[in-house]
Structure 1
Amino acid sequence: MIGLCLGLSGVVWAQLQLSEFTLAWNHTIEKVRWEEDYRVTETGLILGEARIKGNGAGMEIPEGARLEHGSWRYHRSLPPLQPLKLGRTPQAGDYQLCDGGHCEPMAHWLGPPSAQQPAVELWSCPL
């Protein structure tokens, strides 16, 4: 069975039994919510739909996005991400992982973001 691993440089800090999830965060300056849907596969994380509540400094609405239910929705064609690298610092706030509409901050599994460990990677892995 394939699931989601969280860690850095191949070192697993947490494993989650997920086949799909939403990665969500608030833009550090504009405080606008971003969401990206991923599917967990053997070849990596496949990005599906993404949503953004609005635009602002350094965050333009992507070309082809459509406004639906208060969010701009769009798709980007990317190869499977293996790993997906994320910056994670106290100043930026934490990411959320959502499954079935229920969201938890990454701190739930990894502890709070810290300046000593300013990054995390997500990848598909055998459970």
Structure 2
Amino acid sequence: MSLCILAAGKTVTLAAAAFTLSWTHSVERTRWREDWKVLPAGLQLVEARVKGSGAGMEPPEGSMLRDGWWVYAPRIGSQPRLLLAASGATGEGWTLCTAEGCRELGKAAGETILLEPCDGARQPR
């Protein structure tokens, strides 16, 4: 499987079995990171990390504090796709990293980014 990124009418395909998605919370200015696997059934969230806590961002039960990050394994099923939109309130978008490197997505407010598994031939499932 590959990861397709759809934005501004274009599709980019990344040969990636896993990726990390990170961003800054627009109200609390707290950093978030999530590790995802790309599977035929969808995108599976494996681990999440939050640098601190705040309004509406309390670490869930079972979280462990590691090097200043609350770390936990969310218990949700695979997602067919992720829809991302930047608020514009942080001056940055989302950072998506794979084994090949990192790229910033959706820096401008209102930009919508769609992430979903694809067959590697630039075709979303």
Alignment correspondent of 2:119: 126
Describe the superposition over 1:67-91 as per-residue Cα deviations: whole angstroms up to 9, x where unpaired.
Answer: 0122110011111111112222433
Alignment correspondent of 2:21: 23
Length-normalised TM-score, structure 1:
0.81
Pair 50,101 (structure 1): closer, same or farther in 2 beyond 3 Å: farther
Instruction: Kindly report which structure 2 residues correspond to 1:36-115, keeping only aligned pairs within 5 A, or say none.
Output: 36-92=34-90, 93-100=92-99, 102-106=101-105, 112-115=107-110
Long gaps (5+) in structure 1? none
Shift of 1:103: 2.9
Question: Residue 20 of structure 2 contacts residue 97 of structure 2 at CA under 8 Å; is this kept in 1?
Answer: yes
The residue type paired with residue 119 of structure 1 is T
Question: Residue 62 of structure 2 contacts residue 72 of structure 2 at CA under 8 Å; is this kept in 1?
Answer: yes
Shift of 1:101: 8.8
Alignment correspondent of 1:14: 12
Question: 2:108, 2:44 → 1: CA distance?
Answer: 25
Question: 2:22, 2:37 → 1: CA distance?
Answer: 14
Question: Residue 105 of structure 2 contacts residue 113 of structure 2 at CA under 8 Å; is this kept in 1?
Answer: no
Q: For the aligned residues, what is the CA RMSD? A: 2.0
Question: 1:66, 1:94 → 2: CA distance?
Answer: 27
Aligned residues: 118
Describe the superposition over 1:34-75 as per-residue Cα deviations: whole angstroms up to 9, x where unpaired.
Answer: 000001111111110110011112211111100012211001
Alignment correspondent of 2:4: 5
Question: Residue 89 of structure 1 contacts residue 119 of structure 1 at CA under 8 Å; is this kept in 2?
Answer: no
Question: Residue 5 of structure 1 contacts residue 12 of structure 1 at CA under 8 Å; is this kept in 2?
Answer: no
Identity of matched residues, %? 35
Displacement over 6 Å in runs of 4+: none
Describe the superposition over 1:12-36 as per-residue Cα deviations: whole angstroms up to 9, x where unpaired.
Answer: 5221111101000011122111000
